[in-house]
Amino acid sequence: MSDETAHQRGMKVRRKVLGNAHVDRAEAGKTDFDRDFQRFITEGAWGSVWSGKHFSLRERSIVTIALLAALGHEEELAMHLRATRNTGATAEDMREVFMHVAVYAGVPAANSAFRIAKQVYAEENKA
């Protein structure tokens, strides 16, 4: 393993997945109130889990989106759907993910996920 810290690894992967503009906005919005929480996310989620060697970024994206959809975390779901342009997960992948969500987490959760994905994809097609 390199001398790179979990925070450095996390920032590198976070930027690769979410894009520089998103990360720059998030970093600029940090305050004393949430600074430790933001560091925890960068080191724990991005510098550890998302930086692992077993899954590709596409596979991590699919797993993350399935969990966010199943748990009804709509804001994070939209963010990770936008990030699929950087991870290689496709709209076809999302359709399959949401069908699994319907079976294992419920039709209402999948219905919300489809709605959010359609909004995200419509916004991206306008750009």
> What does the pLDDT look like over 11-33, one tens digit per residue?
999 999 999 999 999 999 999 99
**Same domain membership, residue 114 and residue 64:** yes
Range of the domain at 102: 55-127
- Measured CA to CA, the distance from residue 98 to residue 95 in angstroms comes to 5
* Buried b / exposed e along 20-40 (16+ C-beta atoms within 10 A): eebbeeeeeeeeeeeeeeeee
Q: Write down the pTM of the prediction.
A: 0.91
Q: Is the pLDDT of residue 69 over 80?
A: yes
Same domain, 62 and 33: no
User: For the residues 111-121, what does the mean pLDDT come to?
Assistant: 98
Which residues 6+ apart lie within 8 Å of 121 measured at CB?
81, 91
Answer with the one of 15, 37, 53 that is the final residue of a domain: 53
Number of domains observed in the structure of the chain: 2
Q: Are residues 74 and 26 in the same domain?
A: no
Does residue 127 have a pLDDT over 90? no
Query: What is the 8-class DSSP label of residue 90?
Result: -
Q: Which residue has the tokens 């933001």?
A: 38
- Contact predicate 37/5, CB 8 Å: no
Same domain, 104 and 75: yes
pLDDT averaged over every residue in the chain: 95
Alpha helices in 88-127 (DSSP H): 91-105, 107-126
Domain match, 26 and 80 both:
no
